[in-house]
Amino acid sequence: MLKVLEHYAYLHEIPELGFQEFKTSAYISQQLKAAGYRVADNFNGTTGIVAVLDSGVPGPTLALRADMDALGHIINGEACARHTCGHDGHSSVVLTAAQELMAEKAVKKGRLKLIFQPAEELGTGALAMIAGGAVDDVDMILGFHVRPAEECAVGTAIPAVRYSACLTIEVTVRGQTAHAARPHLGINALDAAVSAVQAVNAIHLPPGKSWSAKATRFLCDAGVTNSVPDEARVIFDLRAAENEDMTLLQSRVERAVLQSVAAFGATAEIEIVKSMPAAEIDDEMTTLIAGAITEVLGEEALMSVRSTPGSEDFFHYPVQRPQVKAGFWGLGTGLVPGLHHPDMRFDLNSLPVGVKIFKACVNKVLG
């Protein structure tokens, strides 16, 4: 179990952004090959890795997925990559579980598949793996995430974490420049963009739904202070607990933006920057994970199913391939002060627990 801490110590010091995980994937690939796995590097032209252990005996194909990328931060005025979402921990846990399962000859039937995925933070890593056929032959797929301290204490685990859908929209508002002394000759893109933000803030979905829509970035600068700006860019972050609610919310936001800027004579171009679906979790997989948690930590450590407004591109797998049964669980790690915080940290002694839970799942399905 100390191997997981060795892996983490190395991966934590080489954070790499999405689709740039060259050192990370090279290290993981080397470790998997040394353990005896059949490994496909640079999967679908990315930094992704797919490794397979085939027992040679008929049975299901179970996949374990880990994300590899770090986050981009600006710290003390300098851009840098830093592991502030625990993906280095995720990769370390799945890699160690894979090594121990191989050494123990634990896979007695079916196939164990390992998916080390790039670019989760970009929302496109899972899609790239799916497009390359990574889960076309998979019956079940399991993933996990380290959890903040307020959600899940060290020594406990959540059998299913229901993530929300997330949509990032960039709106480019175009008007017409003019001298500020003669604003009637132009179309003020700044005014039109402000109106679009207010129109989005005025949207209402049924009160029983869980959702949000808000502007998170606003850029507008004509270069001088006495000119009417002809362009403004606004980023909107949309969240919804259910995929059908996100479809409705997106249509409402786009309508609000287009109609509000049109009132000023401006136009708007709408681009989807990032899209992640809401959780699609199979009950059978949740039961499997719950049994593994209980086996490793005891009944008292089994938490109830939780929902989160956060998003996770793991759920592209079951949404794009509905035949794949998906489970996604949360590991108590005492994580503070929060995910994506530049100073995020957690109890590393929780990582061996994650290894044991994944191994228990594999033993139940393929042992």
CB 282: neighbour CB atoms within 10 A?
A: 17
223 and 102 fall within a common domain: no
User: What 8-state DSSP symbol labels residue 336?
Assistant: B
Give the model confidence (pLDDT) of 200-250 as tens digits.
999 999 999 999 999 999 999 999 999 999 999 999 999 999 999 999 999
Per the structure, the count of domains in the chain is 2
Burial level of 276, CB count in 10 A (0-12/13-18/19+)? buried
Domain hosting residue 219, numbered range: 165-276
Tokens, residue 8: 């983490």
* Statement to judge: residues 151 and 243 lie in one domain: no
Residues 54 and 146 in one domain: yes
Which tokens go with 28? 């993981």
**pLDDT digits over 294-316, tens only?**
999 999 999 999 999 999 999 99
CA distance 217 to 28: 36
CB of 110 closer than 8 Å to CB of 59: yes
Considering 256, 276, 296, which residue would you say is the last residue of a domain?
276
Residues 197 and 321 in one domain: no
- Predicted structure pTM score: 0.93
Contact 278, 201 (CB under 8 A): no
Cα distances (Å, whole numbers) of residue 246 to 172, 187, 198, 209, 269: 21, 32, 19, 10, 20
Intervals of the chain under pLDDT 70: 1
Q: DSSP label at 157?
A: E
Distance from C-alpha of 52 to C-alpha of 54, rounded to nearest angstrom: 6
What pLDDT is stored for residue 228 in this prediction?
97
Single residue among 255, 276, 297 that ends a domain in this structure: 276
Q: Are strands 227-228 and 165-174 parallel, antiparallel or unpaired?
A: unpaired
> Apex CA 204: angle with CA 200 and CA 207, to 5°?
145
**Where in 70-121 does DSSP place strands (E)?**
71-75, 78-82, 111-117
Residue 226: HSE in the Cβ half-sphere, 13 Å Cα cutoff = 2
| The amino acid at 157 | A
d(CA 137, CA 99): 22
Nearest to 257 by CA among 194, 175, 333: 194
Tell whether 186 and 225 lie within a shared domain: yes
272 and 301 together in one domain = no
Q: Are strands 306-308 and 111-117 parallel, antiparallel or unpaired?
A: unpaired
- 289 and 176 in one domain? no
> Are 294 and 248 found together in one domain?
no
pLDDT of 2 reads: 78
**Residue 110: predicted pLDDT:** 98
Q: Is 366 helix (H, G, I), strand (E, B) or coil?
A: helix
Whether residue 141 is found in the same domain as residue 41: yes
The helices-and-strands tally (H runs, E runs) of the chain is 9, 17
Residue 12 sits in the same domain as residue 155: yes
Cα–Cα distance for residue pair 270/230, rounded to 1 Å: 16
- Which helix (H) or strand (E) covers residue 273, if one does? strand 267-276
CATH code of 283's domain: 3.40.630.10
What is the spatial distance between Cα 59 and Cα 82, in angstroms, rounded to a whole number?
40
CATH number assigned to the domain comprising residue 177: 3.30.70.360
- Whether 114 and 234 map to the same domain: the answer is no
Structural domain ending residue among the three candidates 244, 276, 308 = 276
Question: Are residue 156 and residue 170 in the same domain, yes or no?
Answer: no
Judge residue 104's burial from the number of C-beta atoms within 10 Å of its C-beta, 0-12 exposed, 13-18 middle, 19 or more buried: exposed
